């Protein structure tokens, strides 16, 4: 099975985290993960479960489509 990479997700997570002035450690704590695990998420090494994507989109106040790179529109429905 082919692994799907989402480079826009990684870029957008970094951008949103930076805009909110939140550290990778803070994000790891929010998700209940280690700092290393969150770093791997941001670098695109880990595929994220859908519930985690929803949690991240809600935290940053953006749509799932924006977060994963399917839309340029940040607005949530």
Our CA dihedral for 33, 25, 16, 48, rounded to 10 degrees, sits at -20
Which token pair is 43? 């670098």
> What pLDDT, in 10s, does the model give residues 6-26?
778 999 999 999 999 999 999
Stated pTM of the model:
0.87
Contact partners, residue 7, CB within 8 Å, separation at least 6: 44, 69
Mean pLDDT value across residues 54-76: 94
pLDDT score of 1 more than 90: no
Distance, first Cα to last Cα, the chain: 33
pLDDT at 2: 47
- Residue 17: count of CB within 10 angstroms of its CB: 19
Any idea which architecture 7-66 has in CATH?
A: Orthogonal Bundle (1.10)
pLDDT at 4: 55
């Amino acid at each position: 099975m082919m692994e799907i990479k989402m480079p826009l997700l990684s870029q957008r997570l970094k951008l949103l985290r930076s805009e909110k002035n939140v550290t990778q450690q803070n994000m790891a704590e929010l998700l209940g993960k280690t700092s290393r695990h969150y770093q791997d998420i941001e670098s695109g090494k880990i595929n994220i479960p859908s519930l985690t994507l929803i949690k991240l989109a809600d935290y940053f106040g953006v749509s799932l489509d924006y977060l994963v790179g399917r839309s340029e529109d940040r607005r949530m429905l």
